[in-house]
């Protein structure tokens, strides 16, 4: 497909004997803003892991446009992070520069300034020395968004970026996400708040172990589709 950053061709994902997503086909266009939604167990996080290459497809193909694989960054669920690891907020954010600096590159003054600018952008400039285990959920999510700023990638995948954070943090981080999209970046976000999706995301993918709908948000998030997704995940069909 012309302009597709990520194209899925009858892709199935899963592990062991369980298929979590079956025969998914479609594309995320360059510069698009897409919400991935669906009931619990719908395969939303599995899709993100599959696109990032953490999971290999059981069947089908994933095609990445141009240099997408090298220009893609992911914000994982907060619950997947080991908050007991004694790393500072500054160092967590600085990890976003890995693609530019590499394992043995010199972390120069320009990179250090990028870290502080990213921390300031998300309102965390006073927390650089804090160990991440002492941060609140909202503070940690702000730090992870700062790390995405350091990545400076053109394709961004976010898995439940607003889970367990307060309204002010959600509004601040949503504004940053919209700014990235305004800059022409492709943004794919797993979300649960359908009102937010309807208000801010032009495109939506509704999953329930398969695609129930993929396209313009108003066409996807219909009562009929949402009803079908719930029943598919409950095993009623």
pLDDT tens profile 129-148: 999 999 999 999 999 999 99
For residues 25 and 50, membership in a common domain is answered with yes
Q: Is the pLDDT of residue 234 over 90?
A: no
Mean pLDDT throughout 102-124? 86
For residue 123, tell me if it sits in a domain: yes
For residues 84 and 181, membership in a common domain is answered with yes
For residues 59 and 131, membership in a common domain is answered with no
At 237 the pLDDT is 56
- Name every residue whose Cβ is closer than 8 Å to that of residue 88 and which is 6 or more positions away in sequence: 128, 129, 130, 131, 132
Residue 66's Cβ-side half-sphere holds a number of Cα atoms within 13 Å equal to 12
d(CA 89, CA 66): 33
For residues 92 and 49, membership in a common domain is answered with no
d(CA 199, CA 202): 8
For residues 53 and 112, membership in a common domain is answered with no
For residues 110 and 175, membership in a common domain is answered with yes
Residue whose structure tokens are 């479609």: 26
Tell me which residue of 223, 102, 171, 152 sits closest to 161, measured CA to CA. 171
Total number of domains constituting the chain: 2
Q: How far apart are the first and last CA of the chain?
A: 32
Q: Which tops the pLDDT comparison, 108 or 176?
A: 176
Position 1 confidence tier, pLDDT thresholds 50, 70, 90: very low
At 15 the pLDDT is 82
For residues 179 and 89, membership in a common domain is answered with yes
For residues 125 and 138, membership in a common domain is answered with yes
For residues 6 and 104, membership in a common domain is answered with no
Radius of gyration of the chain (CA): 18
d(CA 110, CA 99): 15
Q: Is the pLDDT of residue 117 over 70?
A: yes
d(CA 201, CA 113): 32
For residue 15, tell me if it sits in a domain: yes
d(CA 140, CA 146): 10
Mean pLDDT throughout 206-233? 96
Residue range 39-90, pLDDT digits in tens: 999 999 999 999 999 999 999 999 998 776 778 999 998 778 888 888 999 9
Q: What is the span of the domain harbouring residue 114?
A: 73-156+168-185
d(CA 111, CA 93): 11
For residue 111, tell me if it sits in a domain: yes
At 84 the pLDDT is 85
């Amino acid at each position: 497909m012309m302009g597709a950053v990520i194209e899925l061709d009858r892709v199935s994902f899963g592990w062991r004997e369980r298929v979590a997503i079956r025969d998914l086909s479609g594309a995320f266009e360059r510069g698009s803003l897409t919400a991935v939604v669906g009931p619990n167990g719908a395969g939303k996080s599995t899709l993100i892991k599959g696109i990032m290459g953490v999971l290999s497809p059981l069947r089908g193909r994933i095609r990445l446009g141009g240099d997408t694989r090298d220009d893609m960054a992911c914000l994982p669920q907060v619950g997947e992070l080991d908050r007991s690891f004694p790393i500072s907020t500054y160092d967590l954010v600085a990890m976003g520069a890995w693609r530019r600096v590499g394992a043995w590159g010199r972390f120069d003054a320009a990179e250090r300034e990028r870290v502080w600018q990213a921390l300031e952008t998300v309102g965390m400039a006073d927390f650089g020395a804090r160990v991440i285990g002492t941060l609140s959920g909202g503070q940690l999510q702000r730090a992870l968004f700062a790390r995405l700023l350091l990545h400076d990638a053109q394709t961004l995948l976010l898995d439940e970026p607003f889970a367990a954070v307060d309204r002010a943090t959600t509004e601040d981080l949503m504004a940053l996400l919209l700014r990235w999209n305004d800059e022409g970046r492709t943004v794919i976000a797993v979300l649960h708040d359908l009102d937010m999706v309807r208000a801010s995301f032009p495109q939506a993918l509704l999953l329930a172990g398969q695609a129930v709908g993929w396209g313009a948000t108003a066409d996807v998030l219909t009562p009929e589709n949402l009803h079908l997704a719930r029943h598919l995940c409950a095993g009623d069909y």
